């Protein structure tokens, strides 16, 4: 084991969850769209519906600006601990990219919005995401000792 422990941050996690939920509701209310981060980003990078880019730019800009708001209010950037090396991060990103492609969405689209709408497809996708996540963490931490 590397000695890395997962931080328990219930208040910050609750606040983040509330902000994600509120933003999902507001996006549905004002744009009639589901908040799925990969869909928002891919729609920004492809030729989509005319007039569809503005809200996507605003969402991505808000995601990027979040840490800057923390910096402005606290005087320091939020801590991000990545307990694996760069090749593992790249492999993980590649695998996630494949997953969101075949799963037709990501955890924010299926897990937050789809489950809230009681979508069977989203419930199944989220169960699979989470099962694979649990298994991956177990294998990497306990079997591989990374």
Selection from 11, 46, 38, 61 nearest residue 111 by Cα? 38
Separation CA 144–CA 127 (nearest Å): 24
Segment 90-96 mean pLDDT: 88
End-to-end CA distance of the chain: 6
User: What is the percentage of the chain residues whose pLDDT exceeds 70?
Assistant: 95
Checking if the pLDDT of 68 tops 90, the result is yes
Checking if the pLDDT of 61 tops 70, the result is yes
And the tokens for 69?
């708001």
pLDDT of residue 40: 86
Segment 38-60 mean pLDDT: 84
Segment 119-141 mean pLDDT: 89
Segment 50-73 mean pLDDT: 89
pLDDT of residue 1: 41
Checking if the pLDDT of 127 tops 80, the result is yes
Among 32-41, 55-64, 76-85, 98-107, name the most confident range. 55-64
């Amino acid at each position: 084991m590397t000695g890395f422990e997962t931080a328990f941050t219930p208040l910050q996690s609750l606040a983040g969850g509330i902000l994600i939920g509120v933003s999902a509701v507001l996006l549905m209310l004002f744009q009639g769209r589901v908040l799925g981060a990969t869909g928002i980003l891919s729609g920004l990078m492809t030729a989509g519906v005319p007039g569809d880019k503005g809200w996507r730019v605003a969402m991505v800009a808000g995601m990027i600006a979040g840490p800057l708001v923390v910096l402005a209010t606290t005087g320091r950037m939020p801590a991000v601990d990545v307990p694996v090396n760069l090749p593992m991060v790249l492999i993980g990103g590649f695998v996630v990219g494949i997953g969101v492609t075949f799963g037709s969405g990501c955890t924010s689209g299926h897990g937050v919005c789809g489950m809230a709408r009681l979508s069977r497809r989203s419930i199944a996708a989220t169960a699979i995401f989470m099962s694979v996540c649990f298994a991956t963490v177990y294998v990497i931490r306990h079997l591989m000792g990374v």
